[in-house]
Amino acid sequence: MKILIDMNLSPVWREIFAKHNWESVHWSSVGKPTAPDKTILQYARDNGYVVLTHDLDFSAILAATGAKAPRVIQVRTQDVLSERFEKLVINALRQFESVLASGALVVIDESRSRARVLPLT
Protein backbone atom coordinates (compact mmCIF):
# COMPACT_ATOMS: atom_id res chain seq x y z
CA MET A 1 0.00 0.00 0.00
CA LYS A 2 1.28 3.45 -0.95
CA ILE A 3 0.05 6.39 1.11
CA LEU A 4 -0.14 10.03 0.00
CA ILE A 5 -0.15 12.31 3.06
CA ASP A 6 -2.23 15.45 2.56
CA MET A 7 -0.89 18.94 3.31
CA ASN A 8 -3.02 19.24 6.45
CA LEU A 9 -1.00 16.47 8.12
CA SER A 10 2.62 16.56 9.19
CA PRO A 11 5.38 15.01 7.05
CA VAL A 12 6.30 13.15 10.27
CA TRP A 13 3.71 10.59 9.17
CA ARG A 14 6.24 9.39 6.54
CA GLU A 15 8.51 8.20 9.35
CA ILE A 16 5.61 6.53 11.13
CA PHE A 17 4.58 4.62 8.02
CA ALA A 18 8.19 3.67 7.25
CA LYS A 19 8.42 2.01 10.70
CA HIS A 20 5.55 -0.23 9.60
CA ASN A 21 6.95 -0.88 6.12
CA TRP A 22 4.40 1.22 4.23
CA GLU A 23 5.58 3.46 1.43
CA SER A 24 4.42 7.04 1.77
CA VAL A 25 4.98 10.50 0.38
CA HIS A 26 3.89 13.90 1.65
CA TRP A 27 2.00 16.01 -0.90
CA SER A 28 4.49 18.88 -0.45
CA SER A 29 7.18 16.74 -2.09
CA VAL A 30 5.14 15.92 -5.22
CA GLY A 31 2.73 18.84 -5.74
CA LYS A 32 1.99 22.46 -5.03
CA PRO A 33 0.98 23.11 -1.41
CA THR A 34 -1.94 25.21 -2.65
CA ALA A 35 -3.27 22.58 -5.06
CA PRO A 36 -7.02 21.98 -4.89
CA ASP A 37 -8.31 18.74 -3.41
CA LYS A 38 -9.40 17.51 -6.85
CA THR A 39 -5.78 17.72 -8.04
CA ILE A 40 -4.57 15.70 -5.06
CA LEU A 41 -7.26 13.08 -5.62
CA GLN A 42 -6.39 12.83 -9.31
CA TYR A 43 -2.69 12.40 -8.52
CA ALA A 44 -3.51 9.66 -6.00
CA ARG A 45 -5.81 7.92 -8.49
CA ASP A 46 -3.27 8.10 -11.33
CA ASN A 47 -0.40 6.84 -9.16
CA GLY A 48 -2.10 4.21 -7.01
CA TYR A 49 -1.97 6.04 -3.68
CA VAL A 50 -4.30 5.92 -0.69
CA VAL A 51 -4.84 9.50 0.53
CA LEU A 52 -4.40 10.16 4.27
CA THR A 53 -6.18 13.40 5.14
CA HIS A 54 -7.69 15.46 7.92
CA ASP A 55 -9.94 17.22 5.36
CA LEU A 56 -13.66 16.38 5.19
CA ASP A 57 -13.85 17.64 1.59
CA PHE A 58 -12.29 14.45 0.21
CA SER A 59 -15.24 12.28 1.24
CA ALA A 60 -17.66 14.91 -0.09
CA ILE A 61 -15.90 14.86 -3.47
CA LEU A 62 -15.98 11.05 -3.56
CA ALA A 63 -19.69 11.06 -2.76
CA ALA A 64 -20.57 13.80 -5.25
CA THR A 65 -18.68 12.20 -8.12
CA GLY A 66 -19.50 8.56 -7.41
CA ALA A 67 -15.80 7.78 -7.85
CA LYS A 68 -14.42 4.29 -7.26
CA ALA A 69 -10.93 5.72 -6.63
CA PRO A 70 -8.75 6.92 -5.09
CA ARG A 71 -8.95 5.27 -1.73
CA VAL A 72 -9.08 7.68 1.21
CA ILE A 73 -8.30 7.48 4.92
CA GLN A 74 -9.89 10.37 6.75
CA VAL A 75 -8.79 11.21 10.30
CA ARG A 76 -11.22 13.06 12.54
CA THR A 77 -9.37 14.21 15.60
CA GLN A 78 -7.38 17.24 16.65
CA ASP A 79 -4.37 15.41 18.09
CA VAL A 80 -3.00 13.77 14.94
CA LEU A 81 0.53 13.18 16.23
CA SER A 82 -0.03 11.54 19.59
CA GLU A 83 1.24 8.02 20.15
CA ARG A 84 -2.32 6.93 20.90
CA PHE A 85 -3.59 8.25 17.58
CA GLU A 86 -0.64 6.72 15.73
CA LYS A 87 -1.75 3.32 17.07
CA LEU A 88 -5.34 3.97 15.99
CA VAL A 89 -4.24 4.77 12.44
CA ILE A 90 -1.88 1.80 12.16
CA ASN A 91 -4.48 -0.59 13.57
CA ALA A 92 -7.14 0.74 11.19
CA LEU A 93 -4.80 0.36 8.21
CA ARG A 94 -4.16 -3.25 9.14
CA GLN A 95 -7.84 -3.92 9.81
CA PHE A 96 -9.05 -2.38 6.56
CA GLU A 97 -6.10 -3.15 4.27
CA SER A 98 -8.06 -5.58 2.07
CA VAL A 99 -11.08 -3.25 1.87
CA LEU A 100 -8.78 -0.36 0.94
CA ALA A 101 -7.18 -2.49 -1.76
CA SER A 102 -10.55 -2.87 -3.47
CA GLY A 103 -11.58 0.77 -2.94
CA ALA A 104 -12.90 2.37 0.23
CA LEU A 105 -13.17 5.43 2.43
CA VAL A 106 -11.90 4.67 5.93
CA VAL A 107 -12.82 7.11 8.70
CA ILE A 108 -10.80 7.07 11.92
CA ASP A 109 -11.77 8.99 15.03
CA GLU A 110 -11.03 8.74 18.74
CA SER A 111 -13.64 6.08 19.44
CA ARG A 112 -13.80 3.91 16.31
CA SER A 113 -12.80 3.26 12.74
CA ARG A 114 -15.14 2.34 9.92
CA ALA A 115 -14.97 1.71 6.20
CA ARG A 116 -17.34 2.43 3.33
CA VAL A 117 -16.80 0.72 0.00
CA LEU A 118 -16.50 2.99 -3.04
CA PRO A 119 -18.42 4.34 -4.81
CA LEU A 120 -20.24 6.11 -2.00
CA THR A 121 -23.99 6.21 -2.54
Q: pTM of the full predicted structure?
A: 0.94
Per-residue pLDDT of the chain (121 residues), as tens digits, is 999 999 999 999 999 999 999 999 999 999 999 999 999 999 999 999 999 999 999 999 999 999 999 999 999 987 766 788 899 999 999 999 999 999 999 999 888 999 999 999 7
Whether 13 and 26 have beta carbons less than 8 Å apart is answered as yes
62/73 Cα distance (integer angstroms)? 12
Q: What pLDDT shows up at residue 121?
A: 77
Each domain of the chain, given as residue ranges in start order, spans 2-117
At 23, give phi and psi (nearest 5°): -75, 135
